[in-house]
A and B are shown apart, each in its own frame.
Chain A
Amino acid sequence: MTPTAPIAQKPRTDVNPVRIYTLRIDGRDVSGREDETILTVARQNGIFIPTLCHLDGLAERGACRLCIVEIQGSPKLFAACVTLVKQDMDVITDSARIRDYRRKILELIFSERNHVCAVCVVNGNCELQDLAVKLGMTHVRYDYLNPPQSVDASHPRFSLDHNRCVLCLRCIRVCKDIEGASTWDISGRGIHARIISDLNQPWGESETCTGCGKCVQVCPTGALSEKGKSVAEMTKRPQFLPYLQMMRKEAEI
């Protein structure tokens, strides 16, 4: 600090526990609490940022990279779901560069496993499909990797199709943080990573699974689905999560 600079006054934490910042997102003046992310503030203001691994009510992961945004003055890109707002930040959520990157990331995700919408239970109700439509991804220009993946239909009510999994790990998070069962986990590394139940046992034999079905509801694609649903018949209802979180918070007080 230079000697001439005024001495910063310590903010009163008793009356003002959280600071509010003003910033700009896509040229619009907005305000956000210091503990809010760019994504939260953007959504409050009706600014669309695509997301896949993010889900309201679950811990953030910052892994799908679809929510990348530019911040003026930095050459780096930031994941909006894990970047907190700052005073006078100037965020750009939609530029040619970002649109291009997002579309390519989506193409990579589509190329990774088998995402054939025409035969999928969630056709028409799929977050991945919606993103492709919204981001204007009409073709996948990369090689389809088509890895051999299995289907686990051992559970009496649900089934898991690894071919449709995008490794967003919403199922792991909801099972651990909300249901408290920690049935789901991940095994393997890199391109060989896959979801497992318990210690890589068939889901139907899992001793920890409570059968609550939360994982099925939060899964963005047809990887986790209810049995007995045919093509395009499965719809997901992840909206319960924020309410559940809110009710639990109230119960704590």
Chain B
Amino acid sequence: MTLTIENLQEIAKTETDAVESYRYRINVCMAAGCLSCRSDVVKASLEEEIRRQGKEKACLVRGVGCLGLCAVGPLIDISPLNVTYQAVQPSDAPEIIGSLTGAPVSRLLLPADQPFFSRQKKIVLENCGIIEPERIESYIAAGGYEALYQALRQMSPRQVIDEVTASGLRGRGGAGFPTGLKWTTVYKARQAVKYVVCNADEGDPGAFMDRSVLESDPHRVIEGMAIAGYAVGASRGYIYVRAEYPLAVERLRRAIKQAKRLGVLGENIFNTPFAFDIQLRLGAGAFVCGEETALIASIEGRLGRPRPRPPFPAEFGLWGCPTLINNVETLANIAPIVRRGGGWFAGIGTEKSKGTKVFALAGKINNTGLIEVPMGTTLREIVFDIGGGIPAGRRFKAVQTGGPSGGCVPEQFLDMPVDYDSLREVGAIMGSGGMIVMDDGACMVDVAKFFMEFCMSESCGKCAPCRVGTTQLFGILERITAGDGSIEDIDTLKELCDLVGATSLCGLGQTAPNPVKSTLRYFENEYTAHVRRHHCEAGVCAMGKAREATT
């Protein structure tokens, strides 16, 4: 059977009718954040309560993806009442089901008008918390796979690439390479066999954007990959996802199976000669395998170590074939771009950074969670309006963007619009979208030490500057935070940062010094206080505590 657009529309209609035949749809977040606070038990108790009250015909309980505000999970959302409840416990079920016809349960109510929701603009996350990630019908009802149909039946590969180029989309993995240009490079390669790889080896501490997208809307990534495959001329794709994301892996597996059964993956998709197949590859926990050449080695079954570039994977990738490697979020942007046109996408964001960006808010911030904002939104809006500011009345100190490759952005840049170029200017990077907010209780030397320890233990050991350099840097930072540092140590830090950054083989080593560099740039006074006065202002470092104990 070959799938036609009519089939797709019929599936969508059946699904929408089925869902809308219920008077109340109770959406329970079933992404990892809420699941860890037992949202699965909440869902079961809601279902049981509905049965007990005999409301099976009027109420439908659905397990949906991430609703965003992970800080107050488990979250449930009731449509069409437009009511969101926070921190729901299984024991709340009778009250919630009982109140459907009357006034909402005020003690659980999450204010609907709060800026966390109203200030966001969702493209990548448009289906998150709305559709059921485990059912392909739910994705199709939200317009899923229409873009693939449109691309395969109405556009040439060149036209698809033109739309992506026109959209101005840049790689969301961190470096911000223009996606259209990358696609064109692979498209132009003459070899018959090409590959598309989705990089889902999200490893930055505090980042969970890709995980949430895969858990909440896996079909979007699959559709993006199939469109990419069509555009560049590849008929095989791999998703390299870390094994530490078991739920994402499970949902991807299920989604791939459903897509194959329905015929949106496989041979003769939508009655065209185009064939596309996707396989999963699980990473075994090495951060360096997020680097594209190491990732390729890992998929091939070799040791996950980077190799010098050029040749770039677009030319010489998996098994020597031209390979397109895109991040999860990049691929998640593809279907909307094809559906609504590159021009629409280019109308969002700033001059050089188009579209939206998903950020994972973590650290000392009230609204820990997943957000999506247009490029160019200021840090102040993100941290204080959407993020709800700093808890316990403490003072904002800095925000770390881009994980261990990024840097700390201090308070004076709060009004800076967040995009690739402005972040780079202040010594940080966009990175994949992790934002760790720090209050005045954070010691910046300690923060730098944390990230350096991460880079040291994740360095693959291939090139000497990264292998030994990160170890030396960590040793010096450890000495400084223990109160045994000298003023010369700060000079050695600067010297090693420059050396490791300039001479390392791959991106991991080249960017490993960034957290030290940026904290030295804005908080050198803290470093000097540590070495000159043996004083840690924040009281984080052990010597600070020892000092307090003696006075």
Enumerate chain A interface residues (CB-CB to B < 8 A). 61-66, 68, 77, 79, 82-83, 101, 104-105, 108-109, 111-112, 141-143, 145, 166-167, 186, 188-193
Instruction: Give the interface of B toward A (CB within 8 A).
Output: 286, 303, 307-308, 456-465, 467-472, 475-476, 492, 495-496, 499, 502-505
How far does the Cβ of A246 sit from chain B's closest Cβ, in whole Å?
25
Tell me whether B469 and A189 are in contact (CB under 8 A).
no
If A65-B463, A193-B467 are given as contacts, then 17 extra A-B residue pairs at C-beta distance below 8 Å, sorted by A number, are: A62-B505, A63-B463, A64-B464, A65-B464, A77-B503, A79-B505, A108-B465, A108-B469, A111-B472, A112-B471, A142-B492, A190-B461, A190-B471, A191-B456, A191-B468, A192-B461, A193-B461
Instruction: Find out whether the CB atom of B460 lies under 8 angstroms from the CB atom of A65.
Output: no
Q: How far is the CB of A198 from chain B (nearest CB, A)?
A: 16
Partner of B303, one of A63, A111, A112, A186: A186
Instruction: Tell me the complex Cα distance, A111–B462, Å.
Output: 16
For A82, the chain B residues whose CB sits under 8 A away are 308
Given A63-B462, A65-B465, A189-B459, residue A145 in contact with residue B471 (CB < 8 A): yes
Chain A residues contacting B505 (CB-CB under 8 Å) are: 62-63, 65, 79
Query: Cα distance A79–B503 when bound, in Å?
Result: 9
Please name 15 pairs of A and B residues whose Cβ atoms are closer than 8 Å in the assembled complex, sorted by A.
A63-B462, A65-B465, A65-B504, A65-B505, A105-B464, A108-B465, A108-B499, A109-B464, A111-B468, A112-B467, A142-B496, A143-B476, A189-B458, A190-B457, A193-B461
A77 proximity list for chain B (CB < 8 A): 502-503
Q: Give bound CA distance, A188 to B464, whole Å.
A: 15
CA distance in complex: A128, B60 (Å): 72
Contact pick for A190, options B459, B492, B496, CB 8 Å: B459
A225 nearest CB across to chain B (Å): 22
In the bound assembly, the distance between CA atoms of A82 and B462 in angstroms comes to: 15
> Which residues from A are CB-within-8-Å of B462?
61, 63
Which chain A residues lie closer than 8 Å to B504 at the CB level?
65
> Roughly how many angstroms separate A112 CA and B469 CA in the complex, as a whole number?
9
Partner pick for A143 among B457, B459, B469, B475, CB 8 A cutoff = B475
Which residues of chain B have C-beta atoms less than 8 A from A189's C-beta? Answer: 286, 457-461
Q: Which residues of B contact A141 (CB under 8 A)?
A: 492
Which of A108, A186, A193 lies at the interface centre, i.e. has the most chain B CB atoms within 10 A of its CB? Answer: A108
Determine if A188 and B461 form an interchain contact, defined as CB atoms under 8 angstroms apart: yes
How many angstroms from the CA of A31 to the CA of B303 in the assembled complex? 36
Bound CA–CA A192/B457 (angstroms): 9
Q: Which of chain B's residues have a CB closer than 8 A to the CB of A111?
A: 468, 472
CA A161 to CA B461, docked complex, whole Å: 18
* Given A108-B465, A108-B469, A108-B472, also A62-B495 (CB < 8 A): no
